[in-house]
Amino acid sequence: MYPSLILPWSPDPSGAEGQYRTAGLVKTKGTLFLVPPPNDVLRETFNAPPRPKTRMSSGAVALCKHFERGGASSEHGRHHPFWTLPTGSNEDKTNIASRILEDILAHAIWKNVMLLHHGVAVYEMRNGLGYGMRWTLDLEVKFPSEETDEKKDDLDKEWTVVRTTFRGCLEPIADLDHELPLPSQEKSHDKEDPVLETI
């Protein structure tokens, strides 16, 4: 079991760290103190087609692929403990995936922006069960300076998001449940949940 993925906040935080913490995000190894895109942008990229001629949303395409990888099977009738398999027409699949996105947005209790490598970060959010979604953030330095860029660590630079792309669905991290307190309102795929009752 991980002793903890969460790192303590700085005793004398920078302005960027303060804004990040106030926004309700967590700090782990590799965390970039960058406030993530608003939910409207996350929805837009999730619902956009992955390619111009694709008739399903990026989210629906990713969910269809992820459903099979997660141990479930549409062919053999094995249900996934959390994800719902999008079925029906392309429009139906897109609508189902969109409802699941709304459920994740509403119940996310773990939000983190992490730097992958120079100019690219990921933003992930998870619910109390550990399931979640991830977006890639393409970045540019706010105030580029050759001298500053060479001396500063990437985590200390001021970045701005120039492009957001939906990447896919997330399974729980092994033994992370002790760091994901389950809120009382967390029902996820309960039949009583009005959001998912229509899926």
Domain ranges of the chain: 15-179
Polymer length in residues for the chain: 199
Q: What per-residue confidence (pLDDT) applies to 31?
A: 97
pLDDT at 186: 45
Residue with tokens 């139906």: 92
- Nearest 5°: phi and psi at 106? -75, -30
Give residue 188's pLDDT.
Answer: 45
Look-up: residue for tokens 């094995």?
78
Helix runs in the chain, H state only? 15-22, 39-47, 58-69, 90-107, 146-151
Query: What pLDDT is attached to residue 184?
Result: 45
d(CA 91, CA 18): 41
CA atoms within 13 Å, Cβ hemisphere of 150: 2
pLDDT along the chain (199 residues), means of 10: 79 96 95 97 98 94 82 60 89 96 97 93 96 97 70 86 97 75 47 35
| DSSP state, residue 56 | S
> What does the block give as tokens for 70?
């997660």
Say what the pLDDT of residue 5 is.
87
- Residue labelled with tokens 């997330």: 170
Q: How far apart are CA 87 and CA 9, in angstroms?
A: 44
Quote the pLDDT of residue 76. 54
CA proximity to 37, closest of 129, 166, 155, 157: 166
- The closest alpha carbon to 180, from 102, 124, 101, belongs to 124
Decide if 198 contacts 102 (C-beta within 8 A): no
